[in-house]
Structure 1
Amino acid sequence: MKKYIVFVLFLSAFTALQAQDLYPEKFSDCHQTRFSFCLDCGDPKASYDGDLVGYFNSVFKKSARKMSGKAFVQVIIDSAGHQCVKSLQHDAGVDVRKLRLKDEINAMTGWHAAVKKGKPVSSSRVMVFSFADGDLSISFRDFDSKNTKNMLSVGKVEISDPSKYKNNLNDKLFHVYTTQNSKVPWDMSRSVSIDQDGTVFQGTDNGIVQVKDGVMTVINQGNSGLRGSNADGGRTTTVMASAVDAQNNKWFSGGYAV
């Protein structure tokens, strides 16, 4: 677990990075004391009771007809079914300020909490607003863990377990990122490297987590030139070591993939 602790320690230096924000435009309305949540968890997942496209077409009216592109909105739905926009991102074709997406979503009623082990839980979901040719479509961006390995939490973080890790560190000063509250695809780190621009690269058994300007991006065999591991039919990429050279090139190696 020592490498995982190093990752947590390193990330704590980035004061702009807030735990559980998926997108660069962040909001502080969702207070952590009220919204302690997991990422896209539950069976069933959090959902809206109604026609989302019809609802937002009536809200947007004519303002969205000339738009094209997508907007991604991370919404927290607490265990009581109350929603709150946590972060968002949009491309150049969508002016979210005109649509007032944050305010409109926060004013909605009719959300249902996710259910986990038979009990309602607070979770976040990503709503994808797609605008094309005057039409609007809305979908949810799911973070599916079924096709990854070692997805479950590996246990208690050692920094907060004095019986295993004796030190004077205060765990309240650190943001702890796990598979339950972020895009991190595995709860242990194989490697951590920092390039000359301050970008973090965390190697895991499920690919690389890039942390740039406070935003996490998972790089794996599905969206890059990384090769999958022979051990599981190429479904995942195990990164065992990483380095950054003098020219700021990034190097990664794994058990069956390089």
Structure 2
Amino acid sequence: EGDMSLSIDDLVHIVRDQLPPHFPPQPVKAKRQKVRYCDTNYVLLIAIIEAVTGQPLHQVHEELLFRPLDLRHTWLAGHSRPLEPTPKPAMLWVDSEPVEIPLMMRSFWGVYSTTEDTLSFLHALIRGEVFDDPATLSLMQQRWNRFTFPLDKAALRAPGWLIEYALGMIRFRLPRALTSLHPMPAVFGHTGSTGTWLFHCPELDVLLSGTVDQATAGAIPYRLVPKILRAVDSAAR
């Protein structure tokens, strides 16, 4: 239907009333839980943050993240501007077609940033500088749930069964059977639907950030990151 603007209420209505659930609701403290990533949780968090702070999300980001961490080339699409002049974001592609959807990017509170800024953010997160209580990072990694095997076509494009999820963070590692003689160390962080990734590999002390800006390339990070880690590991030997 082309580009369009959607409110948080619109998005919640679509998910709640028009989309089938992947599985029934589960007890929060269940020993084993079925897990699927859902952008709707991000949208709900936006509503909660704005209700608690009384401020729009982009102002909260600037006050609590962008200025304190000196992220001068990061902003929320359609809601704010970077703190310093920044080149125009790279074009988003769907297969071989360029796509411009500023209204939808604004509706989904898409974040534009640079490799330098995303690495600075991840470095600050690791050092305990993002949260008032540094122990929050440990809380985010306390309970890992492996993604269930996907049954829908969209999810089949990503290797869900290799991903574990905790609180807003992914753990990804290839099983020994797929890594030949050298097991792949785990990486922690997140990926995006347009082939973006931001990961920390504690074992190799490496931070990884990148993107291909391709809407059909959600699985690309899970193919590239193991190759990058092998190259780093080989160079260090």
Q: Which bracket does the TM-score occupy, shorter chain normalised?
A: under 0.3
Normalising by the residue count of structure 1, what TM-score does the alignment of the two structures yield? 0.24
Q: Larger relative CO (CA 8 A, sep 6+): 1 or 2?
A: 1
Q: Which has the higher strand share?
A: 1
Structure of larger gyration radius: 1
Q: Which has the higher helix share?
A: 2
